[in-house]
Amino acid sequence: MAASDDLSALRIEREPLSTGGGRWVKWVVLLLLLGAAGGGARYYLTLERPIEVEAASVTERAAGTSASVLNASGYVTARRRATVSSKVTGKVIEVNVEEGMDVRAGQVLARLDDSTLQAALRLYRAQLEAARRQIPESEVRLEQARTQLQRQERLRKEGLNTPNDIDNARAEVDSLVARIASAQEAVKVAESQISMQQTAIDDTIIRAPFTGVAISKDAQVGEMISPVSAGGGFTRTGICTIVDMRSLEIEVDVNESYINRVRGGQPVTAVLDAYPDWQIPAAVIAVVPTADRQKATVLVRIGFKDLDPRILPDMGVKVTFLREADQAATPVAQAVTLVPQGAVKTDNGSTFVFLISGQTVERRAIKTGGTDGNRVEVVAGLKGGDRVVIAAPPELVAGKEIVVK
């Protein structure tokens, strides 16, 4: 017997697995997997997820500070502002102003080419001189004619001439008188022409209309300038723009629904966007008695109590209209807690807020006082620095887990 036959005798013969049993095992495994997946889905769906909310901080108004009745935004404007131009069209030959330069009233800002006007002025002066020289000559001849008339009158008394001689002498006198009067009128006309031409020359000199600061330079030497928009884009209509910094004020558009809260002389606190920590005292100058039908707003003018070099035209500003002294209650000697109106809720006559405490909220009862713009004064229940929920969703209850937006 060969060795290979011995090894074959040691092989164990296995019976083939049943096909039906294999399918049963696969179905069991599939059912187990589906059960596990369904349990996970039920766990995920029944898991309570946090509610997303919006939060705000509770603030305090300093002691002795008046309450606000309205907030608005606007811009710093100059009541006295001018784009300086010329009365005539001409070529710029000199510009004496730069942006940011202080200018005085009457200061020469620019000059236009006046060569043609100067030539015409010299012509008018020559005509004036010629008219003046005609007068002495005519006066000498007039004196001679009057002497001749007197001589003719004496000869007439002696019967040595005719009436025609006297008439001719008298006509000569009258003619010279008229000629002298005409020459004198010609002198006045020439003087008027000179005065008018001098005015035209003065119009080529552009001066500052008032004391202020130049905020823009709009023309250069060699450009044409005109008081009207003529010549297309090649003609300037101004030399520079001057602002009187003493006339700075604030203009704000107040919604007409709240304009009843604004009065002339009402105290205002202004905060420039450029200096958010600087509160500027101001007061209402006037409420412009007309409304903008497109924006449904009314323009309000506000004046600064004290001007400052940091205040510049066209700066953005936020203003707070304060409660007037005659409407205010007894001055508050301590700080007042303020909470946004959107955080205050009422339920069966009780007032409360949702106070944020860690990852959950607490229903906190509060006692409110008056209003301060879009905020509510809180007498008891909150302190400065607390965080509350604004516009709480209906499903929010005490103890609910939250996530702040």
pLDDT digits (tens, 9 = 90+) for 10-59: 555 555 544 455 565 667 667 777 766 655 545 444 456 788 888 888 87
Average pLDDT on 388-400 reads 86
The residue among 92, 83, 87 whose CA lies nearest residue 200 is: 87
Q: Pick the residue with more confidence: 357 or 235? A: 357
> Half-sphere exposure (CA, 13 Å, Cβ side) for 259?
19
The residue among 301, 251, 311, 254 whose CA lies nearest residue 280 is: 311
Q: How does DSSP classify residue 143?
A: H
With a CB cutoff of 8 Å and minimum separation 6, the contacts of 293 are: none
What pLDDT score was predicted for residue 334?
65
Query: Would you say residue 63 has pLDDT above 70?
Result: no
What pLDDT score was predicted for residue 46?
46
Run of H or E residues at 402: strand 402-404
Specify the fold of 83-113+204-243.
OB fold (Dihydrolipoamide Acetyltransferase, E2P) (2.40.50)
What pLDDT score was predicted for residue 106?
93
The backbone region for 106, taken as left when phi is positive above 0, alpha when psi lies in -120 to 50, beta otherwise, is left
The pairing of beta strand 205-207 with beta strand 108-112: antiparallel
What pLDDT score was predicted for residue 167?
82
Out of 162-166, 189-193, 228-232, 391-395, which region has the weakest mean confidence (pLDDT)? 228-232
Q: DSSP 3-state assignment of 249? A: strand
Three-state secondary structure of 120-136: HHHHHHHHHHHHHHHHH
How do residues 224-263 score in pLDDT, each as one tens digit?
Answer: 988 876 555 567 888 999 999 999 999 999 999 999 989 9
With a CB cutoff of 8 Å and minimum separation 6, the contacts of 200 are: 88, 117
What does the alpha-carbon distance between residue 48 and residue 94 come to, in Å, rounded to a whole number? Answer: 79
How do residues 286-306 score in pLDDT, each as one tens digit?
Answer: 999 999 999 999 999 999 999
Run of H or E residues at 165: helix 163-202
- Predicted model pTM: 0.58
With a CB cutoff of 8 Å and minimum separation 6, the contacts of 388 are: 55, 56, 58, 339, 340, 343, 353, 354, 355, 356, 382
Query: Class of the 68-79+246-322 domain?
Result: mainly beta
The residue among 207, 200, 17 whose CA lies nearest residue 94 is: 207
Average pLDDT on 131-152 reads 85
- Please determine, looking at this structure, whether the domain spanning 115-201 carries the CATH number 1.20.120: yes
Please report which residue ranges of 55-162 form alpha helices under DSSP H.
115-157
CA distances from 89 to 48, 85, 211 (A): 80, 10, 25
How do residues 196-216 score in pLDDT, each as one tens digit?
Answer: 999 999 999 999 999 999 999
What pLDDT score was predicted for residue 213?
94
Q: Pick the residue with more confidence: 370 or 343? A: 343
Sequence spans of domains, the chain? 53-65+331-404, 68-79+246-322, 83-113+204-243, 115-201
What does the alpha-carbon distance between residue 21 and residue 71 come to, in Å, rounded to a whole number? Answer: 82
Out of 4-8, 212-216, 224-228, 364-368, which region has the weakest mean confidence (pLDDT)? 4-8
Average pLDDT on 141-162 reads 82
What does the alpha-carbon distance between residue 84 and residue 339 come to, in Å, rounded to a whole number? Answer: 51
What does the alpha-carbon distance between residue 245 and residue 270 come to, in Å, rounded to a whole number? Answer: 17
Query: Would you say residue 312 has pLDDT above 90?
Result: yes
Specify the fold of 53-65+331-404.
2.40.420
